[in-house]
Structure 1
Amino acid sequence: MSPVITAEAAELVSEEGANDGFSRADLLREAMLGVLDRHEPEVAALLRREGLSGEGLSPRLLARTIQAQAMWFQLLAIAEQNRDMRRRRNVERERGYAQLLGTFAHVIGSAAAGGIPAGEIREALASIKIRPVITAHPTESKRITVLERHRRIYLRLVDLESPRWTEREREELLRAISDEIELLWLTGELKLEKPTVEQEVNWGLYFFNENLFDTVPALYAKVEAAFARQFPEEAPLELPPFFTFGSWVGGDRDGNPYVTSEVTRRTLWQNRVACLRRYRSRIVELIRNLSIAEHALDFPAAFKRAVQAALDQIPDGAQIAARNPGELCRQYLAVMLARLDVTLARSEEQEPATTAGGYQHADQMLVDLDLVQAALVEAGAARLAQSLIKPMWREVSIFRFSTLRLDVRENTIRINATLGEMYRSLRGEEPPPIESPAWKAWLLAELGSPRAQPYDYPELSAEAAETLATFRTIGEMRMQIDREAFGALILSMTHSAADVLGVYLLAKEAGLFADALAVEACTLPIVPLLETIPDLRGASAILKELIAVPLVQRSLRRQGNVQEVMVGYSDSNKDGGYLAANWELSKAQAQLTRLGSELGVAIAFFHGRGGSVSRGGAPTGRAIAAAPAGSIRGQFRITEQGEVVSLKYANKGTAAYQVELLSASVIEHMLKSERETALIPRHEYDEALEALSGTSWTAYRRLMESPSMLAYLQAASPLEELALLNLGSRPARRTQARTLADLRAIPWVFAWAQNRHMLTGWYGVGSGIKAFLDVRKARGLELLQRMFQESRLFRLVMDEVEKTLLMVDLDIARAFAGLCEDAEIREPIFGAIAAEHALTREMVCTISGDPVLAQRFPQYRRRLARRLRTMNQVSLEQVQLLRAWRASGAEDVRHALLLSINCASAGLGATG
């Protein structure tokens, strides 16, 4: 056996602690090697011997070996996911569901034990809206076909947990796993062409069709059961749809020229068709199950009349009655099915429902389900109503006729350019500067001007006309698809209140106001996205100026008196480094929360987090628990990007755990954050974080402002080669400019991860701590060590920095740096990185008190150790492949290079 794979598997075997006689990792390893024996015996021999060694290997054999190692990382992740699920089940089995962290049973139980009354818990659940938002950010390197293979392998592992199988049946399951791995090996790992937006939409909907249509409604039953268990004397919960999903896929126009108004239109119909097909299968299932004879249950007279009226309204009503004589539930559900078929057929043709025959909107279907449910309850079959009808009622109330709430995202540059053209068309002159008082005055004047009909702007450029068309599409499609088909308009790179007012004006031009003259209130929620550190620092001023506008106040009252603000983790990190970004994000949330209280408006935060640490990735429960006290009110949204989506939602058990973990953590913060001493602001802690942030920012900016930084990164990483992977439909840059500032955060993080510098997750932290200790000496160290124990934010930052440092390998980083042939560029930059790396390791251990990095994360260290040797081999091969590709441009080298990038991403668990 290969020492690489055997060691990795052996560690997982001991960690699994399996009591059923076999190791999942060992099983998957043996199956994979068996497949390779049949198809690529040379690769199998390499893996059994010494692992990868590129010397003397042809590009083809090297590519196939790297592909095998990437597949092993994927199989190892499946085994670990299966292990994690079994661990959670074991805890529940041994200690009870209420002792399982991240569950509503635990949160409500601990809240009740802490004296929080049932009424406050009920109010929190009734007032919060939680919405994970799936994005098409290009950080997912796995195709849907690959995801399906992974899911089937996972399910077969779950099947093997049962002791009921005979030896013959067990062999069949093992054969099925081997077959899936063989198909995985024979499936093309790389995307041959850049995906279309429509394919990205299908990728997002895959997770609903496989898991989320089931797991989200089941969440509500868990909440109700947990509440009833703690407060049996209280009336049962009647939960509104507090947990829904959003999406940017097909609506995110920020820098993606392929997302047009027409693409958004088609996306909405795709989303609608997905849930309608789901509802059709659910109704068919209900018809099959609800075979209740009229003589066996005394249905209320009103329901009998409703059934007859429904049968009379459709052409084949008589046939339905004859097919199900005396079975009233089946008859009524069959009528519902007929109506739904009309709606589905028109939706598949992208045509709105009519008043004849079909359902025009989800509320009509909810009324029908209510009627059946009420009839069963009144007839004495409440249990059946609860277990059969209520789950579907929940589905329709959650997913409605749109599956997701689609956000539209556009950037400030495009919005203001469109407004500038509108100004020229209206005034016949050049507009004033965007940042001038005259510009804001014009916006306010136009917003206050009655507008019975939208203006015609015949001279707009194609880009400006398309921007305006997108807003008009929102108004049109919200009527055709569902009243909740859209979530909000997200304005990227918001720098001022005037930027947001400009969006209000475009909404007015598109008929998205509540009144006929379009002066009273906007019906589309408009969300400023604050991404850079200067914008985060100016957040309070921007929001205060915005909310002072009477139109905005009236619009917010229509939207529940909530102003949502999106905060960006990726660009703030790119702007100021990891420590400074996290402190500025926390400060901005605390300041905006206080401002909202002063103004009588709830400020709700939409967290633009990615999967990697550098893009805001952190353990869900801990990240929410570290948010400023009282900062979660009204609603909570968070982006789910790329590999995070498949990691969380590709398997039903994991998906159920993740949606409960997120929602339970949010509710726990709402209930407890303002009671907890850990979140009470402490001046000395805030002062220390301000000092640490300032000096770490200075160190980070000193490196970033090197005039040669972009040249170094382009040479010393696969930054430019990222586009060859065809991960997403969106270009890697917002514009064609070739500057560091213009580079998107995803390829920025991607490049530093692939070349094993990983500096986006740690650079500057060491300098920040050392400067602090140089000034404050022993008292400063005592303070930071106390903060390490007591400040959730500081501890979260330090923990994630420490885990990131474990993935840095300076020897490999130096090899990548060697790709930069200009020593005058290479040596100062790499020298600064190496020095800061040594300093940061020293400072982190000084604060934690541990002799080695991440000593307190044994499971994380084991997980990483299982991958590092192979990852290191692949990274060193990637250096040589980059050199060869850039020299020759040979296709076989390109293929091996892209597989090495995929393999490194699989080992790291993320691309960007």
Structure 2
Amino acid sequence: MTEAKFHGRRDPIVSAVDVSDGAPSGDRIAAILFQLLLEVVQRQHPEIAPVLAGESVIKSASPETLSRIFQAHGIWFQLLSIIEQDAAMTERRQTESERGEQAVPGTFANAIAKAAKLGVAAQDLGEKLALTRVRPVITAHPTEAKRVTVLEKHRRIYRLLVELEQPRWTPRERAGIIDQLRDEIELLWMTGELRLEKPSVEQEVAWGLHFFHETLFDGVPELLKKLDRALQRSYPGEHFALSHFFQFGSWIGGDRDGNPFVTNRVTRRALTANAIASLRYYEQRLLQLMRSLSIAERALPPPAGFREALNRALAESGEGPEIALRNPGEPYRQFLFCVHRKLKATLALYEGARPSASPYISADDLIADLAVTEEALAESGSVGLALDLVRPLRWAVEVFRFRTVRLDLRENTTRLTQTLQALWRSMHTEADGEPPAHDSKEWKAWLLAELARPHSGPSIHRSLPPEAEETLGMFKLARDQNEEFDREAFGSFVLSMTRSAADVLGAYLLAKEADLYHDATRVEACNLPVSPLFETITDLRAAPAIMRELLSLPLVRRSARMQGGTQEVMIGYSDSNKDGGFLSSNWELAKAQDRLTKIGAEAGIPISFFHGRGGSVSRGGAPTAQAIAAQPAGSISGRLRVTEQGEVVSFKYANKGTAAYQMEMLGASVFEHALISERAAPALRAEFEEAMEALSGASHAAYAGLINHPDLLTYFQSASPLDEISMLNIGSRPARRFGARSLSDLRAIPWVFAWAQNRHVITGWYGVGSGVASFLDVRKERGLALLRRMFAESELFRMIVGEVEKTLGLVDLDIAREYAGLVYDDDVREAIFGMITAEYALTHKMILKITEEDEIGQRFPSYRSRLEHRLPTINKINREQVELLRGFRACTNELSKEAYKSNLLLSINCIASGLGATG
């Protein structure tokens, strides 16, 4: 490239973008990025620039041109998301600058100030704080349509935008930042959008750990610092012991439910990768700390206790004189060198190399060494250095230990029952026949009898099928964690598809067979927490009776007390929505939590909840603070686990500022619910509860009328890219649990994903109109007045209405009708689409009756503005997708079919990027 060409490439945009007026506004940021993208497109593929600019429409484009059009629009949607995240962060900073940190919703300063204003005593606050446990759990559910390499480019663009907004730059420096932005957009353009192969589980593990390296390792200590500052501001002079209340969990590498690629070998590798990630981070931070603490002994003599610790460390190292000579007169560096030496040996151990020194036995020992350094600095008068330099690293080790995350294990009851049946056969002769039916009294009696047998160590079973050996081996791997990994390497065992108490007892029995029991004076308890997952409407309704029975059993009670004093229950938003519709799902979830909370209180074993939420509204993806505020009073009590899936992970945690706010909002919302909601909010009024029951029943009936229609699956497969979505290589897990082709076996993620792509989006609103209309037919004007009062006073009902409104904004019946045109059977098409259009009109009308607005979504101007920027383009891509589906399905030539397939998958990616969610 010649010098002239180099400058010629850059000059047009520099002249087009005014960089002389200081930091640009949000609108100018968007204009700059669009111009930069347009320039890249004009240079690479000038024929599609007019389409991107909106000056022409897509007409008879070649497959290559069409793919570039999709790519250009997809990149613009990605840039819009980055701009929106940056704008939200800028707005929060402005609010904090003008009105103070306490004025920013979702912050610890805001929540703690509210508690102080309500008169919450410092002692009560401290007790709540000690019991608080917040744990987002990262999952590799196949909803992330972006590769890690793309996420890395997004991160760099975000950071450049933050730099561009700084007022200190000269026009020359600002132009340089714009040049860097252009380069990143050009690299984004030249990076493949689609995965050529499905990711392996190991790649998914690396994807999850990417966010810790980018933002989370540094972010959690900063989070604790914000809480400490908020407590001191609202409760001056009080001392609060900050626990490591905020930790991360993960399912990546431990979630076997329907994923044949997650094996015990894979889980072991995931545990190793998780450990190595944390150790490498500590090593980097220790090196920084060693460089910083170049404190001469004559300038700051260390306390006697530190001197004793240093002498021990030097003696234990075996190289004391050499270390002392390397850093003469610098005791803190000498001590940290010994710490670093042991940490490197620990890292080598996990990496499979021979350690050159004695490694740390556990994270506790590293924490103790950092505490020695921190206390010595504070005792010597350098409190600021102790708190600002050493304490963040100590906090990080307390939170992440030698594991980064707590890895959950998950399997379904079908696989566990098959394993237990194999164990039964190994314990009996052929003359005993076959094991009892898994739902029989005899089966439960056998489980209880085996659990009552005195524990005598791991059992040996011969001739188990490979699948049963693998499942039993999963529990054995959890048993061995203390020998190979951090003692907190595992979280809990999540039992999906829990239908009965016997299902959970089966998990306890497998844990016992694997020697996962603690036996203190012959009183047995299970070391691994077992968390039953209730997913469907039927399961949620059965959950209270199941948990009442389980909590009456001494083994379960002892185990819960040994594991922290609570029994965790996981509740599923996705399958309950698929099963019962949006309104009914939310009400059944609320009822189940309320009843389970009371059962836990009666049993003396509090029940904590693990919320299985997804990214879309249909899968529980409401705004964090609003979703937590809508939970039943007393159901959180400072303890919350929640899944973070797919695109939600990258949206929340890819950028430092956004990650910091999202973590703080989650933690602060849990505090606020525990400290304020439970004492300020009255119990749900009986009339509200009665109304919700009636609304839910009628809504469920309408929804069931649709999903139980004999032709719905035929319609859904034809009028959406349901089958084609499975071709996207966005997750290692299959779309169906057991490979069947029934609607009931279809996972919730592709169910939601496909309905969003075809713009029906029934998963977020269908049945609500019928529910409200039926209620008003009976209650008339008094009923409408009640619903309006509920809308004003009930957090839950207001959230449901608001999320329905937002979902209706995504529905486009004109485009939906074009997808319906892919259904060849006229009768099927007219029957199903007719039901959907009628329910949509009714829901639209009923929502406006309740909100008394002129238009749907009038309360959400920012959301409507976001859609206005995106929907016109999404609509174009939708129409192209319809034609691609028609051509792909009709094509018999493999070469042509492949061209259709590539563009079809690009269109799915593009629409998902525009909507901001997949499943």
Structure 2-normalised TM-score?
Answer: 0.96
Partner of 1:407: 408
User: Aligned partners of 1:238 and 1:275: how far apart in 2?
Assistant: 24
Report the 3-state secondary structure (helix = DSSP H, G, I; strand = E; otherwise coil) of the residue aligned with 2:90: helix
2:332 to 329, 334, 341: 329
Alignment of 1:424-463 (within 5 A): 424-428=425-429, 429-463=433-467
Answer yes or no: is the 8 Å Cα contact 1:511–1:518 preserved in 2.
no
Q: CA deviation at 1:854?
A: 0.8
1:48 to 53, 59, 62: 53
Letter in 2 for 1:137: H
Partner of 1:27: 32
Letter in 1 for 2:386: A
Q: CA deviation at 1:45?
A: 2.9
Q: CA deviation at 1:115?
A: 0.8
Q: CA deviation at 1:168?
A: 1.6
Report the 3-state secondary structure (helix = DSSP H, G, I; strand = E; otherwise coil) of the residue aligned with 1:733: coil
Q: CA deviation at 1:370?
A: 1.1
Any idea what the Cα deviations from partners look like across 1:240-264, whole Å, max 9, x if unmatched? 1100000000000000000001100
Letter in 1 for 2:810: M
- Higher mean displacement: 55-64 or 242-251: 55-64
Partner of 1:9: none
Answer yes or no: is the 8 Å Cα contact 2:23–2:167 preserved in 1.
no
User: Aligned partners of 2:522 and 2:658: how far apart in 1?
Assistant: 46
User: Aligned partners of 1:465 and 1:399: how far apart in 2?
Assistant: 31
The runs of 5 or more residues in structure 2 that have no matched partner are 1-17
Q: CA deviation at 1:838?
A: 0.6
1:891 matched to 2:918? The reply is no
2:684 to 681, 684, 704: 681
Letter in 2 for 1:28: L
Report the 3-state secondary structure (helix = DSSP H, G, I; strand = E; otherwise coil) of the residue aligned with 2:568: strand
Partner of 1:3: none
Answer yes or no: is the 8 Å Cα contact 1:247–1:407 preserved in 2.
yes
Partner of 1:642: 646
Answer yes or no: is the 8 Å Cα contact 1:508–1:518 preserved in 2.
no
1:248 to 238, 248, 251: 251
Letter in 2 for 1:459: S
Any idea what the Cα deviations from partners look like across 1:485-518, whole Å, max 9, x if unmatched? 1100000010111100100011111111111898
User: Aligned partners of 1:787 and 1:603: how far apart in 2?
Assistant: 28
1:225 matched to 2:229? The reply is yes
Partner of 1:704: 707
Partner of 1:378: 379
Q: CA deviation at 1:316?
A: 3.3
Partner of 2:262: 259
Q: CA deviation at 1:301?
A: 2.1
Answer yes or no: is the 8 Å Cα contact 1:471–1:510 preserved in 2.
yes
Alignment of 1:624-773 (within 5 A): 624-633=628-637, 635-677=639-681, 679-773=682-776
Partner of 2:10: none
Q: CA deviation at 1:118?
A: 1.1
1:905 to 881, 890, 912: 912
Partner of 1:584: 588
Q: CA deviation at 1:374?
A: 1.6
Alignment of 1:514-663 (within 5 A): 514-515=518-519, 520-633=524-637, 635-663=639-667
Instruction: Provide the alpha-carbon RMSD of the alignment.
Output: 1.6
Structure 1-normalised TM-score?
Answer: 0.96
Q: CA deviation at 1:52?
A: 4.1
Letter in 1 for 2:424: Y
Q: CA deviation at 1:18?
A: 8.2
Answer yes or no: is the 8 Å Cα contact 1:139–1:643 preserved in 2.
yes
Partner of 1:39: 44
User: Aligned partners of 2:73 and 2:810: how far apart in 1?
Assistant: 18
Report the 3-state secondary structure (helix = DSSP H, G, I; strand = E; otherwise coil) of the residue aligned with 1:406: strand
User: Aligned partners of 2:588 and 2:34: how far apart in 1?
Assistant: 45
Partner of 1:308: 311
Answer yes or no: is the 8 Å Cα contact 1:452–1:516 preserved in 2.
no
User: Aligned partners of 1:750 and 1:719: how far apart in 2?
Assistant: 8
1:208 to 192, 204, 212: 212
Any idea what the Cα deviations from partners look like across 1:707-744, whole Å, max 9, x if unmatched? 11111111110000111111100000001211000000
Letter in 1 for 2:391: K
The runs of 5 or more residues in structure 1 that have no matched partner are 1-12
User: Aligned partners of 1:244 and 1:845: how far apart in 2?
Assistant: 42
Answer yes or no: is the 8 Å Cα contact 2:409–2:493 preserved in 1.
yes
1:317 to 314, 317, 320: 320
Any idea what the Cα deviations from partners look like across 1:206-259, whole Å, max 9, x if unmatched? 000000001111111111111111111212x22111000000000000000000
Answer yes or no: is the 8 Å Cα contact 1:447–1:519 preserved in 2.
no
Alignment of 1:839-878 (within 5 A): 839-878=842-881
Partner of 1:148: 152
Any idea what the Cα deviations from partners look like across 1:322-360, whole Å, max 9, x if unmatched? 110010000000011111111101111289x89x61112
Q: CA deviation at 1:147?
A: 0.3
2:494 to 490, 496, 507: 490
2:507 to 484, 496, 503: 503
Partner of 1:777: 780
User: Aligned partners of 1:530 and 1:21: how far apart in 2?
Assistant: 44
Answer yes or no: is the 8 Å Cα contact 1:513–1:519 preserved in 2.
no
Q: CA deviation at 1:585?
A: 0.2
Answer yes or no: is the 8 Å Cα contact 1:602–1:633 preserved in 2.
no
Letter in 1 for 2:713: L
1:419 matched to 2:420? The reply is yes
Give the direction of change, closer, same or farther, for the CA distance of 1:667–1:88 in structure 2 (3 Å limit). Answer: same
User: Aligned partners of 1:33 and 1:616: how far apart in 2?
Assistant: 37
In the alignment of these two chains, the number of paired residues is 892
Q: CA deviation at 1:632?
A: 0.6
Any idea what the Cα deviations from partners look like across 1:136-175, whole Å, max 9, x if unmatched? 1000000000000001001001001112212221111100
User: Aligned partners of 2:52 and 2:705: how far apart in 1?
Assistant: 44
Report the 3-state secondary structure (helix = DSSP H, G, I; strand = E; otherwise coil) of the residue aligned with 1:293: coil
Answer yes or no: is the 8 Å Cα contact 2:638–2:674 preserved in 1.
no
Letter in 2 for 1:24: I
Partner of 1:10: none
Q: CA deviation at 1:365?
A: 0.3
Partner of 2:821: 818
Letter in 1 for 2:904: L
Q: CA deviation at 1:318?
A: 2.3
Q: CA deviation at 1:602?
A: 0.7
User: Aligned partners of 2:319 and 2:189: how far apart in 1?
Assistant: 51
Partner of 2:176: 172
1:117 matched to 2:121? The reply is yes
Give the direction of change, closer, same or farther, for the CA distance of 1:478–1:634 in structure 2 (3 Å limit). Answer: farther
Letter in 2 for 1:343: T
Give the direction of change, closer, same or farther, for the CA distance of 1:586–1:826 in structure 2 (3 Å limit). Answer: same
Q: CA deviation at 1:317?
A: 2.9
Letter in 2 for 1:546: L
Letter in 2 for 1:619: P
Partner of 2:802: 799
User: Aligned partners of 2:417 and 2:25: how far apart in 1?
Assistant: 63
Letter in 1 for 2:512: K
User: Aligned partners of 1:658 and 1:59: how far apart in 2?
Assistant: 40
- Higher mean displacement: 880-889 or 562-571: 880-889
Letter in 1 for 2:264: S
Q: CA deviation at 1:824?
A: 2.1
User: Aligned partners of 1:821 and 1:800: how far apart in 2?
Assistant: 33
User: Aligned partners of 1:813 and 1:399: how far apart in 2?
Assistant: 47
Answer yes or no: is the 8 Å Cα contact 1:128–1:633 preserved in 2.
yes
Partner of 2:198: 194
1:283 matched to 2:286? The reply is yes
User: Aligned partners of 2:474 and 2:634: how far apart in 1?
Assistant: 35
Q: Percent identity?
A: 57
1:182 to 179, 182, 186: 186
Answer yes or no: is the 8 Å Cα contact 2:23–2:166 preserved in 1.
no
Alignment of 1:52-63 (within 5 A): 52-53=57-58, 55-63=59-67
Letter in 2 for 1:902: N
Partner of 2:5: none
